[in-house]
C-alpha cells in the first residue's frame, strides 16, 4: 500500500511538480509556525492511493507547509528512487577549476597511527628483610615501538648483603599476533649468578581472560642449558587507589648447574602479594609479602649448601612508570 502510494506520488511529482520548485518552496516556507501537535494526516495526502496521481501532486504542491506536522514519517516516500535516475538537485559538471583544486599536494598526508612510543615500568623496586640481613630486588620492563611491533627490554635482579645475587637483562623483539597476545624473541644476558652467560629467548606475553597478565618465556643457552619462566600477575582493585597485586612465578631448568645452585626440573616457585597506593597513576609505594620455595633437585642443592628451601620475606618498594 505504502509502496504503491509512494510510486504514484513519485510519478506525480515528476509530472506535475518540478523537484527544484519543490526545494525552493521549502526554503521559503515559514517553519516558525510549524506545529508539532498538528495532525500528521495533513502531510499524507499521497497515502491515499485512490486519489488521482496528478491531483495528489497538486495537493502536495499547494498544501499548507506551515502547518505541517513535526512527524514526517508519512513523508518517507520522498526518498524514493527517481524514475529517470537523475538527482533532484543536479550535480554540476566539474569545471577545470574544480579539477585544478582537486589535485592533492605532492607531500602526502602525515601518517596517522605510525608514531613511535616508549614505556618504562619499574614494576618492583623494593627492599626486603632476608633471614640474616637485608636485600634489594627489582623487576622492570619497557618497550619502544608501535602498535604491532615493539622492542622490549626486561630486567630482573636481586642483591643481598651488599652484593648482587642475580641480575639479567633481556632484549626482545615483540610482535602482536592475536588480540591480546604477542610473541617475543631475542636474547637474555645473565650478569649473575656465577659467571655471565647468554641465552636465546622465545616466548609469549599478553593479557589472559579476566585480565591476568601472563609472560611465558623459554631460554636456550650456548652450552645447551635450557630454562623456562612463567609469570602471572593480577590487579585487584580494593579502591581506585589501593591495589593488591598478586604475583606468581615459576622457574624451570633443563639440567643441573651446581655452580649456580640450579637443579633440573621445577626449580623455584614464588608467590607474592603487594599492596600499593597509587599516589598518582604513575607513582605508587607498596608493601608486600613474598614466599619462595625451591623444589626437586634445586631444593636438594640448597639444603646441601645450608640454605633455606623456603623463604618468606616482607618487602617494601616503589612501582612507577614513565
Residue list 106-135, contact with other proteins (CB under 8 A): 106-115, 117, 119
Residue 269, judged by CB atoms within 10 A of its CB (0-12, 13-18, 19+), counts as middle
Residues 208-227 that bind other proteins (CB under 8 A): 209-211
With CB under 8 A as the contact rule, which of the stretches 126-134, 231-239, 290-298, 299-307 interacts with other proteins? 231-239
**212 Cα distance to chain centroid:** 15
Query: Scanning the structure block, which residue is given the C-alpha cell 623444589?
Result: 295
- 170-209 burial, b for 16+ CB within 10 Å, e for fewer? bebebeeeeeeebbbebebebebbeeebebebebbbbeee
Using CB under 8 A, pick the residue from 91, 162, 223, 259 that binds other proteins: 91
Single out the residue of 292, 303, 272 nearest to residue 123, CA to CA: 272
Give, for 283, the enclosing helix (H) or strand (E). strand 283-294
Using CB under 8 A, pick the residue from 50, 99, 163, 222 that binds other proteins: 99
Using CB under 8 A, pick the residue from 21, 196, 207, 279 that binds other proteins: 207
Give, for 78, the enclosing helix (H) or strand (E). none
With CB under 8 A as the contact rule, which of the stretches 51-59, 178-186, 260-268, 298-306 interacts with other proteins? 178-186
Residues 148-167 that bind other proteins (CB under 8 A): 148
Residues 11-30 that bind other proteins (CB under 8 A): 19, 22-23, 26-30
Torsion of CA 180, 183, 186, 188, to 10 degrees: 60
Residues 241-270 that bind other proteins (CB under 8 A): none
In the bound state with other proteins, the residue whose beta carbon lies nearer, of 222 and 237, is: 237
Residue 72 found at the interface with other proteins (CB under 8 A)? yes
Single out the residue of 276, 255, 274 nearest to residue 264, CA to CA: 255
In the bound state with other proteins, the residue whose beta carbon lies nearer, of 40 and 269, is: 40
Binding-residue pattern over the window 27 to 66 for other proteins, x denoting contact by CB under 8 A: xxxxxx-x-x------------------------------
Residue 1 found at the interface with other proteins (CB under 8 A)? no
In the bound state with other proteins, the residue whose beta carbon lies nearer, of 80 and 228, is: 80
- Give the C-alpha distances (Å, rounded to integers) separating 62 from 25, 45, 47, 66, 167: 10, 11, 16, 11, 88
Binding-residue pattern over the window 284 to 313 for other proteins, x denoting contact by CB under 8 A: ------------------------------
Q: Where are the alpha helices (DSSP H) in 187-295?
A: none
Q: How far apart are CA 269 and CA 250, in angstroms?
A: 5
Q: How far is the CB of 7 from other proteins (least distance, A)?
A: 13
Amino acid at each position: 500500500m505504502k509502496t504503491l502510494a509512494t510510486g504514484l506520488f513519485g510519478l506525480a511529482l515528476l509530472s506535475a511538480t518540478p523537484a527544484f520548485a519543490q526545494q525552493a518552496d521549502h526554503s521559503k516556507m515559514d517553519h516558525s509556525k510549524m506545529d508539532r501537535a498538528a495532525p500528521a494526516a495533513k502531510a499524507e495526502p499521497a497515502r491515499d492511493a485512490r486519489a488521482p496521481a496528478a491531483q495528489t501532486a497538486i495537493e502536495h504542491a499547494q498544501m499548507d507547509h506551515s502547518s505541517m506536522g513535526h512527524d514526517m514519517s508519512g513523508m518517507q516516500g520522498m526518498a524514493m528512487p527517481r524514475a529517470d535516475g537523475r538527482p533532484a538537485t543536479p550535480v554540476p559538471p566539474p569545471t577545470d577549476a574544480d579539477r585544478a583544486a582537486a589535485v592533492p599536494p605532492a607531500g602526502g598526508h602525515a601518517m596517522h597511527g605510525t608514531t613511535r612510543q616508549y614505556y618504562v615500568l619499574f614494576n618492583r623496586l623494593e627492599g626486603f628483610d632476608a633471614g640474616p640481613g637485608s636485600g634489594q630486588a627489582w623487576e622492570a620492563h619497557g618497550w619502544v615501538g608501535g602498535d604491532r611491533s615493539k622492542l622490549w627490554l626486561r630486567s630482573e635482579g636481586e642483591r643481598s648483603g651488599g652484593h648482587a645475587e642475580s641480575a639479567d637483562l633481556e632484549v626482545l623483539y615483540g610482535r602482536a599476533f592475536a588480540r591480546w597476545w604477542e610473541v617475543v624473541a631475542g636474547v637474555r644476558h645473565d650478569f649473575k649468578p656465577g659467571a655471565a652467560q647468554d641465552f636465546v629467548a622465545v616466548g609469549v606475553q599478553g593479557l589472559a581472560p579476566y585480565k591476568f597478565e601472563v609472560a611465558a618465556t623459554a631460554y636456550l643457552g650456548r652450552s645447551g642449558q635450557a630454562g623456562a619462566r612463567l609469570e602471572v600477575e593480577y590487579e585487584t582493585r580494593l579502591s581506585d587507589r589501593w591495589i593488591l597485586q598478586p604475583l606468581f612465578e615459576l622457574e624451570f631448568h633443563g639440567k643441573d648447574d651446581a655452580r649456580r645452585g640450579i637443579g633440573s626440573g621445577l626449580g623455584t616457585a614464588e608467590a607474592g602479594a603487594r599492596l600499593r597506593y597509587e599516589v598518582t597513576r604513575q607513582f605508587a609505594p607498596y608493601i608486600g609479602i613474598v614466599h619462595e620455595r625451591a623444589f626437586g633437585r634445586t631444593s636438594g642443592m640448597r639444603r646441601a649448601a645450608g640454605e633455606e628451601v623456603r623463604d618468606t620475606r616482607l618487602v617494601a618498594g616503589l612501582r612507577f612508570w614513565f
